[in-house]
Structure 1
């Protein structure tokens, strides 16, 4: 295992959709990936598609590993390397510190103990799925950066999402994918493939975003590299091969991921069994590989010392300001976003998972996790498929 330096020079995931849009001719956007011009394009995000995982399974993913794919590269997901953060970075072209989606769960603003911990995937109070926060933590007001879709739609492009039906109207969709003028539901790979090809065959210049979550789910439940995970990878690879064969000329599909994954079965550290870690703490958020720790007034130093001592070499533990200065959340953190970050932040090392068996029994039962700085969770591919038909 190797850790990615927060000051790395790799292209970030946040530049992928922006580069694709710029390759279609959208103005005032940076084509950092230097993609060749196209008439229409789709960014296909496979949840959990880590570059190192793909490379280590060449027999299961021959198309994803095909040599000579023009302009294909590796990009860095960003921190924390988790779905809500990465999707918002992709959709806005901004890092977490700028767009303000700072983890799977985190305090929704304000430093008092009564501020709710937001679960960004469900847009509810974390641990209380019935407590919907869409009316009090309004997604469009909470994430205010303009999206690539909004900018492209204003320039006359057809902007389309091809996503599972449950994404429709969700808080995260409202925060991250504003500007889509059409939405197509695709819950299965065959539907996804058909919808992508249909959009790429239209005459109008089209920018589409497509999503599939089956690989991530298998990795969480069974572990990355497990038989169930490998079967998902084979099915995804077959779809990618079919897209490459059938894509019309002048169109392109860029296949990427939002994060990789670590098998943490041997590295579980249960925070809820170490009561010292709760001293001076008002809330623990984040997820198993990255924890936001919110402290009582004046207690941050003691909390830092306790967490550093208890976790040892299992994690890098920093004060909020030090993590920001180290570039963990990008080059800039907006002023009103700083309080969303824990007073203390812990980033797991090796195969450590900082689980909470009492507070988070479902998440704690998972085998695969992601979020921290290991290259296996940070690096994702950007695989360019170009139409020739």
Structure 2
């Protein structure tokens, strides 16, 4: 198990380091640039590949000759806990830990309503600017006069997650990866920063598994387009490829359902998070220590189970703001190996049937690549 290194080589340092490479004097930018070893540049392209863990890439690097050539001289970053898109994107975009952003899982409990909200689809939650009011690094770069672009699918323009993590950038919609590559290469003829997102590796991993041939094909397609991007970018452009999290393939025989396991359900009013990283919000009369003990007895070495206070003190979420504290579960669970814990009362059949998952503290989920080249 690898705990987040939120002040070390971590995903939250990427955009501050980019600011430092551009010579923009944002707080922490120079230190982040030194930490990641970025050269000075007038043009920077940051590519975030959803679900491309450092270990996943290393194990399947035969499918990715371009990325493999950058992998040899690289060192990975740690992502957030939970190691999931909404949480990681909040930290990537703001440079701040989840304890500041309140981006604490795929689903979260809204303290104001007691309802379960979804941070990816942004349903049953307050406006993004209310839930996550911190200014993004891209926004601060734009404030400093840097030309900042974000390239992704049209449906993400103005979405809650985009506004929470990446506000301030000019959005350029493009659907296919080759279209996104073309947009970035064209836009970076002028100095500035372009951020490119690609989600198909994660999508294939969820449905077919990260050990599948389909995942290898998705990696090959990505690699070919990133190699093309490196050829098209103007000379001197800094290209940085990273990811939000890695992935593990589940073992259905190691799946627990809270709804069908009385020892897990007792005292638990609502399960938030995801099957690899759970926030348990308890009934008022329940004692967190009792719930921890029961869950640990049932799951054994298949999970690390902590009270909110223990998880916060350990630093899983970084510095926790007062407004964020009640979003964290009274009990927090991180599964190990290929174990998952679901709640069929609130999760859809489709989500219960996912093959590849993420969210916990294993090496495969927590380490993400930091691949850098100046073309």
Tell me, in whole angstroms, the C-alpha distance in 2 between the residues paired with 1:355 and 1:149: 36
Moved more, 295-304 or 96-105: 295-304
Give the Å deviation of 1:195. Answer: 1.3
- Name the residue aligned to 1:50: 53
Cα deviation 1:74-113 (Å, max 9, x = unaligned): 1001211000111111110111112221111111225xxx
- Are positions 1:36 and 2:39 aligned together? yes
Tell me, in whole angstroms, the C-alpha distance in 1 between the residues paired with 2:260 and 2:373: 48
Tell me, in whole angstroms, the C-alpha distance in 1 between the residues paired with 2:309 and 2:197: 34
Cα distance 1:18–1:228, how it changes in 2: closer, same or farther (>3 A)? same
Moved more, 237-246 or 340-349: 237-246
- Name the residue aligned to 1:369: 357
- Name the residue aligned to 1:380: 368
- Name the residue aligned to 1:130: none
Give the Å deviation of 1:242. Answer: 1.2
- Are positions 1:274 and 2:261 aligned together? yes
Tell me, in whole angstroms, the C-alpha distance in 2 between the residues paired with 1:381 and 1:97: 23
> Which of 115, 130, 142 lines up with 1:153 in the alignment?
142
Q: How does 1:1-389 map to 2 (within 5 A)?
A: 3-6=1-4, 10-28=8-26, 29-30=29-30, 31=33, 32-66=35-69, 72-110=74-112, 114-125=113-124, 133=125, 137-180=126-169, 182-202=170-190, 205-266=191-252, 267-299=254-286, 300-330=288-318, 332-360=319-347, 361-387=349-375
Tell me, in whole angstroms, the C-alpha distance in 2 between the residues paired with 1:67 and 1:19: 18
SS at match of 2:67: coil
TM-score, reference length from structure 2: 0.94
Tell me, in whole angstroms, the C-alpha distance in 2 between the residues paired with 1:275 and 1:199: 56
Tell me, in whole angstroms, the C-alpha distance in 2 between the residues paired with 1:21 and 1:51: 24
Q: Is the 8 A contact 1:42 1:210 kept in 2?
A: yes
Tell me, in whole angstroms, the C-alpha distance in 2 between the residues paired with 1:374 and 1:344: 19
Aligned length: 367
Q: Is the 8 A contact 2:6 2:97 kept in 1?
A: no
SS at match of 1:106: strand
- Name the residue aligned to 1:128: none
Q: Greater helix share, 1 or 2?
A: 2
TM-score, reference length from structure 1: 0.90
CA RMSD of aligned residues (A): 1.7
Give the Å deviation of 1:7. Answer: 5.6
Cα deviation 1:207-263 (Å, max 9, x = unaligned): 121101000000000000211111100001111211222221121121100000001
Tell me, in whole angstroms, the C-alpha distance in 2 between the residues paired with 1:67 and 1:42: 15
Tell me, in whole angstroms, the C-alpha distance in 1 between the residues paired with 2:262 and 2:174: 45
Tell me, in whole angstroms, the C-alpha distance in 1 between the residues paired with 2:47 and 2:183: 11
Cα distance 1:261–1:212, how it changes in 2: closer, same or farther (>3 A)? same
SS at match of 1:44: strand
SS at match of 1:152: helix
Give the Å deviation of 1:57. Answer: 1.3
Cα distance 1:374–1:295, how it changes in 2: closer, same or farther (>3 A)? same
Tell me, in whole angstroms, the C-alpha distance in 2 between the residues paired with 1:196 and 1:7: 31
Give the Å deviation of 1:265. Answer: 2.9
Q: Is the 8 A contact 2:148 2:194 kept in 1?
A: yes
Tell me, in whole angstroms, the C-alpha distance in 2 between the residues paired with 1:307 and 1:384: 42
Give the Å deviation of 1:358. Answer: 4.2
SS at match of 1:283: strand
SS at match of 1:187: coil
Tell me, in whole angstroms, the C-alpha distance in 2 between the residues paired with 1:20 and 1:384: 11
